A and B are shown apart, each in its own frame.
Chain A
């Protein structure tokens, strides 16, 4: 069979219907309703489950079948297009490629005898999840709306918050098989033109067959070098995305995914939440520093503990030293093995908790926390201080959930370095990690800005959280950080 993408619609209804059936392989969900209207034989084609039956009956079928006799099919299509407002979204297809894209996107498509084009009506009405609270970005004082899986709903969530005509949303499809709708959002008066041009160029390089999550797109819009931290961000919150757009960033919405990609992303942004701007500046500044400390604790605490206990006990005062010696004397494993064991067990339990059904997930927590944890300490397999240190590190990682995956790997890497080479190993690895973070850069925006390269103006929302009167006068856009 010739590739259907190259075929055009022919002015023969029967042949067209046969071709549609042939291309779709007789798929049960492709519905073809043949009827006569205006004296011309027509067919309305749609995909079951993708459109609203009530809408198509009320707004398309009923008005269409009542059309008076027309001279020919051209007259019929002219009448429908110009004198009947059947739906607001009415594209025209001339090839089978676009015809199938429209059908599979929930459009009802009308073909007629003698016409080499098809009229499509936007009557999408598939089952969708309603707008609910974001699961991964908790918030107290802000909006409780999160993105959903439908790109057009997500576009409306953004538009509701930014009513300016400067907000541009470019809708296009990618994915040879999945034909996924993507939406590029930006503020045309704020976005750096060069950034937009480069992102367009990066997106042009996507030749994937399917796009099922943001993870499929991100490698194409990120620097190809090895980066520990991702230079593009994601958010599930429309309000957060709007704040990023206002700062001149670009967002990509993917149909079927309740997350948006944000470009560029800075390291300091991982420590900012919308609540920071709802509380008093002094409290927000305090919370922000708590997050910085929590990040360091999460990555370094187990390794520093292991390094100190094994190689540098002079760093501890005598009381603490005696306490640790007493606790570790009972443990049968070396401290490094013990630490690795506890951290790996935690990761296994965490993964089990995520993948299992919620009802069983709770049981996993009880078994792991109460039974394994308690009995491991009671039996002397694991020392209490080590378990406390690990728990502190793990809890600290929850403070910055966006960096959780990177922190997990770094925690293990630093633990091994500290356990074998002491503080020297930690320092050497810290140098490598620091260089890696500083080399992370996309489209000329350094990931570590405004810390390095240092921008004093950026400190009012990094080191502290300045008040809105101070920030509004600054009129910040991300272009300030471009190098």
Chain B
């Protein structure tokens, strides 16, 4: 089996999480930040049975067809969510051909991303994980520019002044929405070298740091206009202008496009891996079919953040099924 490092796993998953954060709709306040962080901590605690399962030599992929199908459907639906997010968020990001050609432009752009995802997924986990590290490093440098610019030129009062009407519980539930990489985490954790617990801690620590950095800088930059902002992270990137005589909005487009490709690519790769286990004889057009279903399922989602639905689904794939498998293993012994 192809093995990946913890850096590669973390890069693949953080790209997906960052992309969902880019596409996050609604207001962000300090309560939201706390809610997100609590959500990540809860996700970490929920993933402990899974880590235990892998440490004991088990895996979700080799635990029967029904469980494989559950994870496969989850990944497909998340792929659909990502396409839906891309569709919605691209309205506020200037993509030349799309903006001037209506629905055909949108379809062409989605098609282009799907083709590159198809190619990326077809090269296998090693290639996509290696390239994800470089993409993540490039993205992190670009985000750092935005964040430093935010720290230098922003109104720090925004942190306390920006308020949302939602409770901490609601914000925690919304935090689950920005966790697009969890399905892939379940599949790919078994591919990692080294200690599974350390790898898990590494990923969730990175996720906390990244979420904190992006959300805080978003509040600093877009806090004043949060009420009228649909995509706060995109708006904050547009407001962050580190150079006095030039605008850098278009550079955000580069990060957005790269992260979109990799997050959908990782999702389709994980789905294709499971499909290989479910239908071993279905070799050809495996990734193509997965991507086609993902694009199709994108129409099921409006892109709205239905937090409780995400909590339930994450709970099932991250906690309930691994617990069930652990119990089954213990009883079998």
Which chain B positions have C-beta within 8 A of A318? 245
In the bound complex, how far is the Cα of B196 from the Cα of A479, in angstroms? 26
Secondary structure class of chain A's binding surface, majority of residues: helix
Which one, B26-34, B116-124, B278-286, is touching chain A? B116-124
Residue of B nearest to A311 (CB): B96
Contact of A435 among B97, B128, B247 (CB under 8 A): B128
Q: How close is A437's CB to chain B, nearest CB, in angstroms? A: 8
Contact yes or no, A483 B133, CB < 8 A: no
Given the complex of chains A and B, what is the CA–CA distance between A313 and B77 in angstroms?
Answer: 38
Q: A421 interface residue, CB < 8 Å from B?
A: yes
- B258 at interface (Cβ–Cβ under 8 A)? yes
Residues of B within 8 A of A160 (CB): none
B134 touches A451 (CB 8 A): yes
Distance between A415 CB and nearest chain B CB, rounded to angstroms: 15
Contact check: which of B7, B96, B127, B261 meets A428 at CB < 8 Å?
B261
Among B172-180, B227-235, B249-257, B298-306, which stretch is in contact with chain A?
A: B249-257
Contact partner of B123 (CB less than 8 A), chosen from A314, A439, A454, A483, is A439
Q: Are B96 and A424 in contact (CB under 8 A)?
A: yes
Instruction: Looking at the assembled complex, report how far the CB atom of A68 sits from the nearest CB atom of chain B, in whole angstroms.
Output: 72
- A452 at the A/B interface (Cβ < 8 Å)? yes
Complex Cα spacing A318 to B247, Å: 11
Is A364's beta carbon under 8 Å from chain B? no
B109 touches A424 (CB 8 A): yes
Verify if B23 is at the interface (C-beta below 8 Å from A): no
Check: A1 CB closer than 8 A to any chain B CB: no
Interface band, chain B:
35 or more
Alpha-carbon gap, A441 to B5, bound state (A)? 17
Q: Looking at the complex, which one of B123, B127, B247, B253 makes contact with A423 (CB distance below 8 Å)?
A: B253
B113 close to A (CB within 8 Å): yes
Q: Which of A312, A421, A448 contacts B97 (CB 8 A)?
A: A421
Q: In the complex the two chains form, what is the Cα distance from A322 to B127 in whole Å?
A: 43
- CB-CB under 8 A from B5, the residues of chain A are 453-454
**A423:B254 contact, CB within 8 angstroms:** yes
Interface residues of A in 433-479 (CB under 8 A from B): 434-439, 441, 446, 448, 451-454
A354 at the interface (CB under 8 A from B): no
CA distance A306 to B127 in the complex (A): 30
What sequence of 0s and 1s flags, for each residue 310-325 of chain A, a beta carbon within 8 Å of any chain B beta carbon? 1110111110000000
| A431 contacts B by Cβ under 8 Å | yes
Whose C-beta in chain B lies nearest to the C-beta of A417? B112
B43 CB–A CB distance under 8 Å: no
Beyond A421-B96, A427-B257, whether A432 also contacts B119 by CB under 8 A is yes
Within residues 130 to 176 of chain B, which ones have a CB less than 8 A from any CB in chain A? 130-131, 133-135
**What's the nearest-Cβ distance from chain B to residue A315, in Å?**
6
Does A31 interact with chain B (Cβ within 8 Å)?
no
Given A424-B96, A438-B131, A452-B131, A315 and B248 contact (CB-CB distance below 8 Å): yes
Interface contact A446-B130, CB-CB below 8 Å:
yes
Q: Which residues of A contact B128 (CB under 8 A)?
A: 435, 438
Given A423-B253, A427-B257, A452-B130: A435 touches B96 (CB 8 Å cut-off): no
| B7 touching A441, Cβ below 8 Å | no
Report B-chain residues with C-beta under 8 Å of the C-beta of A316.
246
- A315 CB contact (under 8 Å) in B95, B123, B130, B250: B250
Contact B134 A439 (CB under 8 A): no
What is the distance, in angstroms, from A342's C-beta to the closest C-beta of chain B? Answer: 22
Q: Is A420 an interface residue (CB 8 A)?
A: yes
Q: A422-B96, A441-B126 are in contact. Are A431 and B134 (CB under 8 A)?
A: no
- CB <8 Å contact, A424 and B258: no
Interface: B262 (CB within 8 A): yes
Partner of B134 from A422, A428, A438 at Cβ < 8 Å: A438
Q: How far is the CB of B328 from chain A (nearest CB, A)?
A: 34
Q: How far is the CA of A437 from the CA of B245 in the complex (A)?
A: 36
- The residue on B at minimum CB distance from A308 is B250
Q: How far is the CA of A430 from the CA of B245 in the complex (A)?
A: 28
Q: Which residues of B contact A422 (CB under 8 A)?
A: 95-97, 250, 253
Which residue of chain B has the shortest Cβ distance to A483 in the bound complex? B126
- Whether a CB of chain B sits under 8 angstroms from the CB of A426 is yes
Chain A residues closer than 8 Å to B7, beta-carbon distance? 453-454
A314:B250 contact, CB within 8 angstroms: yes
Q: How far is the CB of B44 from chain A (nearest CB, A)?
A: 24
**How far apart are the CA atoms of A451 and B131 in the complex, in Å?**
10
Closest chain B residue, CB of each to CB of A426: B254
Contact of A431 among B8, B251, B261 (CB under 8 A): B261
- Do B126 and A439 have beta carbons less than 8 Å apart? yes
Instruction: Please measure, in the bound complex, the distance between the C-alpha atom of A451 and the C-alpha atom of B7, giving whole angstroms.
Output: 12
Q: In the complex, are the beta carbons of A435 and B119 less than 8 A apart?
A: yes
A128 to B324, CA, bound (A): 76
Please give the distance in Å from A225's CB to the nearest CB on chain B. 8
Whole-angstrom distance between the alpha carbons of A426 and B249 in the complex? Answer: 15
What separation, in Å, do the CA atoms of A415 and B130 have in the docked complex?
Answer: 26
Residues on A with beta carbons closer than 8 Å to the beta carbon of B246:
314-317
Interface residues of A in 220-265 (CB under 8 A from B): none
Residues of chain B within 8 A of A432, CB atoms compared = 116, 119-120
Using a CB-CB cutoff of 8 Å, which residues 117-141 of chain A contact chain B? none
Q: Give A290-329 interface residues, CB cut-off 8 Å to B.
A: 308, 310-312, 314-318
In contact, B245 and A452 (Cβ under 8 angstroms): no
Whether the pair A430, B131 counts as a contact (CB closer than 8 A) is no
Q: Which residues of B contact A437 (CB under 8 A)?
A: 131
A430 near B127: Cβ-Cβ < 8 Å: no
Report the minimum CB–CB distance from A311 to chain B (whole Å).
Answer: 5
Give the CA-CA distance A454 to B254 in the complex, in Å.
Answer: 24
Q: Do the beta carbons of A430 and B126 come within 8 Å of each other?
A: no
**Complex interface bits, B252-278 against A, C-beta within 8 A gives 1, otherwise 0:** 011001100110010000000000000
Q: How distant is the Cα of A424 from the Cα of B262 in the complex, in angstroms?
A: 14
Interface centre among A424, A427, A451 (most CB of B within 10 A): A424
- A418 and B283 alpha carbons, distance in the complex (Å): 35
- List 4 extra interface pairs beyond A431-B120, A431-B261, A483-B126, CB under 8 A: A422-B250, A424-B96, A426-B254, A439-B126
A residues apposed to B, CB below 8 Å: 308, 310-312, 314-318, 420-428, 430-432, 434-439, 441, 446, 448, 451-454, 483
Residues in chain B within 8 A of chain A (CB atoms):
3, 5, 7-8, 94-97, 109, 112-113, 116, 119-120, 123-124, 126-128, 130-131, 133-135, 245-251, 253-254, 257-258, 261-262, 265
A–B Cβ pairs within 8 angstroms, 6 of them: A310-B96, A311-B250, A422-B250, A423-B250, A424-B109, A483-B126
- 9 closest A-B pairs (Cβ-Cβ)? A439-B127, A427-B257, A438-B130, A438-B131, A439-B123, A317-B245, A312-B250, A422-B96, A452-B130
